[in-house]
Amino acid sequence: MTWIDRGISATPAKGLRQFLTPEQQHAWLEGKEELPDVDERSESLELRFKYAARFEKLLQRPQAGDVLDLLAVYGATSIPIARRTERHYWSVSCLPGSPDKPLARVNASWMELFSLLPDGSDGLRARTILHLSDFTHDGSPEPDHLDRALLESCVDDPDNLTHFFWKADTFGAKIRTAASIRAFLANPRALRAIRRFNLTHMNRGRNAYQASHCYSLADVMVGD
């Protein structure tokens, strides 16, 4: 039994389990299988027009090019069957009205997955939420077991990475500069951790942030 199987046999299928078997999810997690996705996307024209002005405003920001590039990488590598699950099981917000003023944020269920934020006038930083147990010496969720060397090895410059502990088996990594964010997303150990966390929350049920989904940013993430 894998971690994906636990506690689901007696409940109706929800989340990704409606579309993917535990075996398919595990194969994708390990980078052993490319999952077949749909060609046609389900779209809300109301939402597309609602956030079009915010998208145009984002394009005026000096970080816009890096934001779009990094979201394209994230969508291609870190979201399973992104077209089929768009909006209903994951979403991306453009310039959401949060106190930390992110440029873009990806969510699933009730959880933030990945955010891109301004760093000074033209710099960029990212925040990604992960399972702590993917970065501890012994696979436990204990904060004092964090393998800092492993975490720092996921970026090109350890000075560009900090972290914070959150609740249960959860912590956040903060990454400065577009180059270090790209390095983190490309690192096999970090990518597996990102995928595992995203599977956890996409399997929890419908996305709570559907109403803030920005189709213009999603176009970039799903390759349209």
Q: Would you state the pLDDT for residue 4?
A: 53
How far apart are alpha carbons 95 and 85 in whole angstroms? 22
Specify the pTM: 0.92
Q: Would you state the pLDDT for residue 175?
A: 98
Over its length of 224 residues, how does the chain's per-residue pLDDT go in tens digits?
A: 444 544 444 567 789 999 999 999 999 999 999 999 999 888 899 999 999 999 999 999 999 999 999 999 999 999 999 999 999 999 999 999 888 999 999 999 999 999 999 999 999 999 999 999 999 999 999 999 999 999 999 999 999 999 999 889 999 999 999 999 999 999 999 999 999 999 999 999 999 999 999 999 999 999 98
**Beta carbons of 41 and 222 less than 8 angstroms apart:** yes
**Beta carbons of 66 and 107 less than 8 angstroms apart:** no
Q: Would you state the pLDDT for residue 216?
A: 97
How far apart are alpha carbons 110 and 170 in whole angstroms? 14
Alpha-carbon separation of residue 44 from 62, 138, 186, 206 (angstroms): 29, 45, 32, 16
